[in-house]
């Protein structure tokens, strides 16, 4: 059984994961429109990952006898002029998500809910990767600047990204 306090905090995090998915889906559509199909592909996969994160939390709540309550998902912005602008927004957003995961971790410790703390270790590691990926893309797009060939090549590279469901979902 899981405490109401932890249950509520996880439901809030589920909503944030869905909101993250919305944000990246909006970015994907934005870059489809701008003809940056590789960048759009990268964000579409990011969207799937975020929905998978929500699924992991939902599975966890269900396995602990908790109650999933899905709140409305807030709207998201819809316009980013360049990949650099979108990846900078991605990094800023992922940093706030990291803070939320850390706060949830601290709450689990405070409540002596060690099962939740254990589950959150996966997300702690995932956030390191999310921030690192966004930073790498910022560095790459800063490096090429306005060089058309460089942008074309980066876009082509991001177009090769494929979605792999997190292994934890199959456990």
Of 86 and 154, the one with the shorter C-beta distance to Mg ion is 86
CB closer to Mg ion, 29 vs 98: 98
Degrees to nearest 5, angle at CA 87 with 85 and 21: 115
- To Mg ion, the closest distance from the beta carbon of 53 in angstroms equals 4
Smallest gap, in angstroms, from Cβ of residue 3 to Mg ion? 23
Least distance between Mg ion and beta carbon 16 (Å): 8
Site size with Mg ion, rule: CB under 5 A: 3
Residue numbers 2-31 binding Mg ion by CB under 5 A: 17
Asked whether position 44 contacts Mg ion by CB under 5 A, the answer is: no
**What is the smallest separation between the CB atom of 54 and Mg ion, expressed in angstroms?**
8
Q: Which of 66, 50, 74 is nearest to 123 (CA)?
A: 50
H-type alpha helices, the chain:
4-33, 37-63, 83-110, 114-144, 148-158
Q: Residues 46, 23, 55, 2: is their CA dihedral positive or negative?
A: positive
Instruction: Indicate whether 53 belongs to the interface with Mg ion (CB under 5 A).
Output: yes
The contacts of residue 5 (CB under 8 Å, 6+ apart) are 107, 111
At a CB cut-off of 8 Å and minimum separation 6, what does 129 contact?
none
Residues numbered 132 to 171 that lie near Mg ion (CB under 5 A) are none
* Contacting residues toward Mg ion, per CB under 5 A: 17, 50, 53
């Amino acid at each position: 059984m899981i405490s109401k306090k932890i249950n509520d905090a996880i439901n809030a995090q589920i909503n944030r994961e869905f909101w993250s998915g919305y944000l990246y889906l909006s970015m994907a559509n934005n870059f489809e429109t701008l003809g940056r199909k590789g960048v759009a592909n990268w964000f579409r996969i990011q969207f799937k990952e975020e929905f998978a994160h929500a699924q992991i939390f939902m599975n966890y709540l269900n396995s602990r006898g908790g109650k999933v309550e899905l709140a409305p998902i807030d709207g998201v912005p819809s316009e980013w002029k360049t990949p650099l602008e979108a990846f900078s927004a991605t990094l800023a957003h992922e940093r706030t998500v990291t803070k939320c995961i850390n706060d949830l971790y601290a709450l689990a410790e405070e409540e002596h809910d060690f099962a939740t703390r254990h589950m959150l270790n996966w997300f702690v590691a995932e956030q390191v990767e999310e921030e690192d990926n966004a930073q790498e893309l910022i560095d790459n797009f800063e490096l090429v600047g306005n060089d058309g060939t460089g942008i074309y090549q980066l876009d082509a590279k991001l177009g090769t990204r494929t979605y792999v469901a997190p292994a934890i979902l199959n456990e």
